[in-house]
Chain A
Amino acid sequence: MIVELSGHSLLVFVGIPVLVVAVLALLVFASSIADGPRYRPGLSWWAPPVWINGPTATKPDPANLPELPALNSAPGATATAGTGIARTIGGASASW
């Protein structure tokens, strides 16, 4: 049996189902689209490095330090801030 589809029938039997599927797909993927690319272990990493609570931007430039007598007047006050090298390192490592 051959059924001839008119324009109206085509809209009802094809257009509406396609629209419904499109809306459902949009609802399903909306959150991931809004969040952007997600980290997937094993795949390449796309983002530039992020350093949270890193070194302060106003670290003193050794070339612009005013005068040395300040160091001599308060020897204990300038311990390792800003230029220190950690001596004994601890911690842990892991991989996944």
Chain B
Amino acid sequence: MPAGDAFTPDQLYDIEKAVQHAEEVSGLHFSVYVGGADEETRPFAIELLNELDDPDSSVLVYVDPAGRRLEIVTGSQAKRQLSDVAAGLAALTMQTSFAAGDLTGGLVTGVQQLGTHAHQPPLLHASDELHKL
């Protein structure tokens, strides 16, 4: 690993894979930011969310390793699929791993959990197959 990088290529791959999987499952856009904040973490995380291409349908996971803070921010559309309670549960999972020094494991597990919680099953009543029964 080059000096100064937060993650090894393998770790980055794992996180990207988890993000990709969460997006496929939920249909939402997931983004992960790891770094320090110039201000309070929550407003900073909201600023980051608003920089995304479609903030309303996005979920941003912000981790400040130095300040030991974690923020999960959901846009208005994403909030309908991913409740604050579900986000809190994922935050709890990540918090446990981060406290043990496992940033990658926490992010992978947490993002997967967020994707699973945001998963929307297909509407069966809208399917033609149901009418054939």
Contacts and interface: CB of A to CB of B under 8 A. Distances in A.
A42 B65 CA distance: 9
Interface of A: 34-42, 44-56, 59, 80-82, 84-96
B66 interface: yes
B95 A90 contact: no
Contacts of A59: 53
Contact of A90 (B3, B7, B66, B74): B74
Interface of B: 1-8, 12, 15-16, 19, 29-36, 41-42, 45-46, 48-56, 58-59, 64-76, 78-79, 82-84, 87-88, 90-92, 94-96, 98-99, 101-103
A80 B1 contact: no
B39 to A, nearest CB: 14
Given A41-B99, A91-B74, A54 B50 contact: no
A85 B55 CA distance: 6
A86 B56 contact: yes
B32 A90 contact: no
Given A88-B79, A90-B78, A82 B53 contact: yes
B87 A92 contact: yes
A53 B49 contact: no
A81 B99 CA distance: 36
Q: Is the interface of A mostly helix, strand, loop or mixed?
A: loop
Nearest to B22: A53
A17 to B, nearest CB: 33
Contact of A49 (B33, B51, B55, B103): B33
A49 B34 contact: yes
A93 B59 CA distance: 13
Contacts of A89: 46, 49, 73-76, 79
Given A49-B33, A52-B31, A90 B16 contact: no
A52 B15 contact: yes
Contact of B31 (A40, A46, A54): A54
B16 A56 contact: no
B130 to A, nearest CB: 30
B91 A38 contact: no
Contacts of A90: 73-74, 78-79, 82-84, 87
